[in-house]
Every structure is written in structure tokens, then in C-alpha cells.
Amino acid sequence: MSSAVATPPVSFASLPFEEKLDRFARLAVHVGLNLQAGQELVISASTEMMPLVRRITEHAYKAGALLVTTLYSDDEAALARFRFAADESFDHAPQWLADGMAAAFRGGAARLALAGANPALLAGQDPAKVSRANIAASKANKPAMELITRHAINWSVLASATPAWAKLVFPDTPADEAVAKLWDAIFTASRATGDDPVADWKAHSANLHQRVALLNEKRFHALRFHSADGATDLTVGLADDHLWAGGGGASGNGVFCNPNIPTEECFTTPHKDRVDGVVQASKPLSHQGTLIENIRCRFAGGRIVEATASAGEDVLNRLIGTDEGAARLGEVALVPHSSPISQSGLLFWSTLFDENAASHIALGQAYATCLIDGETMDAEALAAKGANSSLIHVDWMIGSPTMNVDGVDQNGSSEPLMRAGDWV
Ligand code: ZN
Ligand code: ZN
């Protein structure tokens, strides 16, 4: 016991906003990325996020960054393309830039993406053009994305509030107040408000690692999701040699990082050919500037055979049609209903947050790191284990306070994992 009289720490809520933002930037550099001295950093953000980017850049250099490069996108410029660009523009992407990103990662650069650009930016645009532009971008980015999904480098995604996003989350609140409320929600959900966020994140990660270890011991053959109302009854087969993951982890370059801030999920690789049944989304999905609501899908033999939505159905079906793997699952994740983000009761219209409020599945690309020795396997070996491959990876939420989840073993006997949305 120490006899020293400590000055009580100032509560986060009472700090001036600039100081809150500065602490959050420090969290990005030291917890999200764990940026190493001598490392390059590539940031992507929208122009509205400059105040946070500048502070992150400052903390990155203080941590010894060799060079920080930020690629800014701009909503108005993105819309100008949809209004005025020639038709062939929508099958085009800057391959040279994507190649440069991949080269940077191979050269050891760390990667930070800031989420929070207007989730509904492209909602009024031609879904065919939106889809073509997304496919072109995904194709161009595939080599760079592969380094991320293989966790070759330390990377992280965290959020910055923007006015358009805040308006969607708090539609009845005046603009300035909505942005302030969204920032507070981001800080809280990101576990940035404690006196020692670095220690808080260590403890949080350790909790998730413990849950992951338990799930890995079980060697389940499948998970069965069944909701009380019967809208969801889905059996998700797990890939052979699947590994559960969650919390921070060491990347291929040996650096321990937290790829998502926040994160509350334990996730693994489903078997691409062994998903059967019906599933109903429990939250709307915000996808590349459009909103897809009330998704219902039927799976057979791993593949979606029927998909409907009350809004954005066209976008959903184009998404599923991106390639063969886009109609199959690449991730299944368990998140308790008691998670702080879920308890906030907010719909963030952002996968980064909403996927950490509910159990979810993802269409498309699987994470090679969620298989034993997956990082060293080629595409063929990964497919043989049941890991899906696609240009897309899109998470959507299926967990709810009425969702039950069972773990099913090789001979079909099952044990309850979650009841009414929470761990048993
Ligand atoms: Zn997930
Ligand atoms: Zn995911």
C-alpha cells in the first residue's frame, strides 16, 4: 500500500474537447497501431477528419514514425464523379495507388483507416454505378487487402465523428450537439475514457483472449443460431482447423496491435460449403454509402439462395453477385448483448460499432489468421479447409436479446453457448 496522497484524476467527461481528442489520438497510435519507432504510417481519412488526423500524426512522430502519409477522400468530390463522370469511370480504379499501398505494407508500413465518412453519401446514386465502382476498387485493392487479412502488418481502424454521420445517429438533435454526442459515444465505446486507456485495453484484450481460448478448446463442428421468434434458424459449419480470434494480436511483423477500436467480438472462419437455414438481420447494414434494411436470407450448401431487404434490396443483391464467394460466409462472430455498445442502445449505422453490439456473420473473404497455420497457406490450401475467398468482406448483424446460440460437435450433439443474447 502506498501512503502517498494521490491527486484524484480528472474525469474524462470534464476535459476540454481538444484534450479528449488528443487522448484518443494517443490511443490510436499506442493501442490501435502500437506504432514502432522507424515505421512508416499510411492513414486514410476524409477531409472532415483533419483535426483527429493532425493529432494522430503528431503522436506518430513523437513515437518515432519515419514518415506519416495521409490519403484524404472528400464527399463532394466523390459525388461529383457520380454526377459528371463518363460511364467508363465506374469500372476504373487507381491501380497505381493500390499498388503503392501494397508496396508500402510490404516495406513495413503500418496502416490506419478512419471510419466515419457519411454512411449514406451514395444512397441516392445509381446502384449499378455504385456497385461497379466498388468492384473496381476491390479488385485494385486486393493485393493490399490480402496483406491486411493475413495480418502481415500492424493495422487499425477507428472512428472520427463527422456531421453527416452524427445526423444519422442523432436525427432529432441540432447539428453541433449531434456531433458532440457522437464524439462522446465514440470515446465511450472505444474505451478511451479511463485514466489509463492503455491498461484498460490490456485488460479488455485479456478477457477476450480467455473467451477465445475456451472456444478453441471446444473444437465445435458448427454453430446453430436460433431466435425465439423463429425468424433465424441458421446452422453455420466451421472450417476445418478453424481458430477463434478476438482482442489484440501479434501481426506478421511481430507487433502486437488492436485492429479494431472498439472490439467486443470473438470470431472465426465458417466453412464456405456448410451453412444452411434462414437468417434475419437484427440491425440495418450501412454499406459503401447506402443503407440496407431488414435483410432476410436463406442459405443452402453454404450459398445464399434467396435474399430480400425492405430497403436497398438491389444493392444487397448486387453485393451478393460480386463474385462466387460473395454469396458465402467468410466470418462468424459472437458478441454478447451485454456489450457496452449494445447497452448504449445506439444504432451507429457503422459496422465498426454495430458489429460489436451483436453477434454477426460476414459475406465474402475469410481471415487466413482464423485457421491453424493459415498465414502460410496458399489460396488452394485455404479453400480445401473451407475458408471462403471473395473481393468483398461485409459484416451484418444477426444477434439480438432473443438470440440463442448452440455449439454443435462432430456427432451432432449440442451445448448452449448463448441464451437470450448472452454467454451461458
Ligand atoms: Zn466481425
Ligand atoms: Zn468482419
The reported pTM is: 0.86
Q: Which CATH number fits domain 12-189: 3.40.1830.10, 3.90.190.20, 3.40.190.10, 2.60.40.1110?
A: 3.40.1830.10
What is the rounded average pLDDT of the residues 299-311? 97
Q: What is the mean pLDDT of the chain?
A: 94
> What is the Å distance from ligand 2's center to 5 Cα?
46
- pLDDT (0 to 100) of residue 150: 82
Pull the grid cell for residue 305. Answer: 439462395
> What is the Å distance from ligand 1's center to 175 Cα?
30
- Closest ligand to the CA of 364: 2
> What is the Å distance from ligand 2's center to 141 Cα?
17
> What is the Å distance from ligand 2's center to 298 Cα?
20
The per-residue pLDDT for range 362-375, each reduced to its tens digit, is 999 999 889 999 98
> What is the Å distance from ligand 1's center to 15 Cα?
32
Pull the grid cell for residue 316. Answer: 444487397
Q: Which residue has the cell 499506442?
A: 30
> What is the Å distance from ligand 2's center to 225 Cα?
18
> Angle between the 127-149 and 75-84 helix axes, to the nearest 10 degrees?
130
> What is the Å distance from ligand 1's center to 268 Cα?
9
The separation between CA 87 and the C-alpha centre of its own chain, rounded to angstroms, equals 31
- Closest ligand to the CA of 392: 2
- Closest ligand to the CA of 397: 1
Surrounding ion ligand 2 within 5 Å at CB are: 331, 362, 395
Strand partners, 393: 364
Q: How many CB atoms lie within 10 A of CB 414?
A: 15
> What is the Å distance from ligand 2's center to 362 Cα?
6
Collapsed DSSP state (helix, strand, coil) of residue 115: strand
> What is the Å distance from ligand 2's center to 393 Cα?
6
Collapsed DSSP state (helix, strand, coil) of residue 213: helix
Candidates 218, 235, 228; CA nearest to 273 is 235
> What is the Å distance from ligand 2's center to 331 Cα?
6
> What is the Å distance from ligand 2's center to 400 Cα?
18
pLDDT at position 390 over 60: yes
Pull the grid cell for residue 301. Answer: 450448401
pLDDT at position 2 over 60: no
Collapsed DSSP state (helix, strand, coil) of residue 197: helix
pLDDT at position 392 over 80: yes
- pLDDT (0 to 100) of residue 165: 95
pLDDT class of 10 with cuts at 50, 70, 90: confident
pLDDT at position 339 over 90: no
- Closest ligand to the CA of 267: 1
> What is the Å distance from ligand 2's center to 394 Cα?
6
The per-residue pLDDT for range 202-217, each reduced to its tens digit, is 999 999 999 999 999 9
- Closest ligand to the CA of 244: 1
> What is the Å distance from ligand 2's center to 353 Cα?
11
Residue 99, amino acid: D
What is the rounded average pLDDT of the residues 287-307? 93
The per-residue pLDDT for range 231-271, each reduced to its tens digit, is 999 999 999 999 999 999 999 999 999 999 999 999 999 99
> What is the Å distance from ligand 2's center to 268 Cα?
10
The per-residue pLDDT for range 76-112, each reduced to its tens digit, is 999 999 999 999 999 999 999 999 999 999 999 999 9
Domains of the chain, by residue range, sit at 12-189, 220-423
CA distance 215 to 247: 14
pLDDT class of 151 with cuts at 50, 70, 90: confident
CA distance 110 to 36: 9
In this structure, is the dihedral angle defined by the CA atoms of residues 260, 265, 266 and 271, taken in order, positive or negative?
negative
- Closest ligand to the CA of 263: 1
Omega before 197 cis (within 30°)? Answer: no
- pLDDT (0 to 100) of residue 124: 87
Share of the chain above pLDDT 70, in %: 98
pLDDT at position 5 over 80: no
Q: Which residue has the cell 442523432?
A: 170
Walk across the sheet containing 233-238 and list its strands: 303-308, 296-300, 270-280, 233-238, 222-227, 403-408, 414-419, 422-423
CA distance 376 to 369: 9
CB-CB contact of 237 with 221 (8 Å) = yes
pLDDT class of 3 with cuts at 50, 70, 90: low
Give 3-state DSSP helix, strand, coil % of the chain, rounded to 5.
40, 25, 35
pLDDT at position 351 over 90: no
